[in-house]
Amino acid sequence: MVCKINELRTRMHAEERLTGLWCSMTSATAVEALSTLAYDWFLLDMEHAPNELPDIVSQLRVLDSSAVAPMVRPPANDRVLIKRMLDAGVKNFLFPYVQSVEEAREIVSATRYPPAGVRGVSVAGRAAWYGARAGYLQAAGDEIAIGIQIETCQAFEAIAGIAALPEVDMIFFGPADLSADMDLLGQTDHPDVRARIQAGIAQVRSHGKMAGVLAPSIDAARFYESAGARFIGIGSDLGCMRTHAQKLLDAMA
């Protein structure tokens, strides 16, 4: 099927626990192989991985035939790039390093057609089935899931305003950058980092929005789940490959 109908936003609003995996290998084959596992979502990363838009399209195509929902993190929150990603069929976004309510508003505007936003109009791309999907322009906004990533102490001050935006579906916490901003570089499981994210999750939940996090360990995943996080990343394709390869090597030592 060309660019499957997106159901992730519906599942977010149903408060399902959604478990995901970071995908950074730029490989459609790796994503396809991993999609045989019962993950709810894969994060196709363009911020800290050398994924370019053609790589993302290849990965979207293999996931169209699976039950796994693709979510994409762009390298920057740029409205021209967002437009190109939307036309290429990206429907679930995790926007990195959002620092203010105004930045979140601009992101939302970039994902909506006028008069609700500033997205350029086209039905020539994958998203509209190359012109074959009737009613795409009217339905597009309802299928787009927006995750906003909170990664600094400054961004925590904007949580209430960001959560108040009806188009924002999920607020996601990044322990790596947050720990660095707290002068705890590399200490993603530090008690102070955990406590800050726990408080952030509670604030997000108090505003009726889904809270997410990239957990640095399974213990952390359980901790954040008990705190109310429902959208949880538990590892990466690269990490899984390297960890298993090391176990095999150790077994032969």
Active site residues: 48
Beta strand extents in the chain (DSSP E only): 18-23, 41-45, 69-73, 92-95, 145-150, 170-173, 210-214, 231-236
C-beta of residue 225 within 8 angstroms of C-beta of residue 215: no
- Both tokens of 172, joined, read 């996601």
Q: Is 28 exposed, middle or buried (0-12, 13-18, 19+ CB in 10 A)?
A: middle
Cα–Cα distance between 78 and 185 in angstroms, integer? 27
DSSP state of 120: P
Written as one string, the DSSP assignment of 94-107 is: EE----SHHHHHHH
Task: For residues 146 and 104, give the distance between their C-alpha atoms in angstroms, rounded to a whole number.
Answer: 10
- The residue written with tokens 């990195």 in the block is 96
Instruction: Please state the separation of Cα 216 from the chain's center in Å.
Output: 16
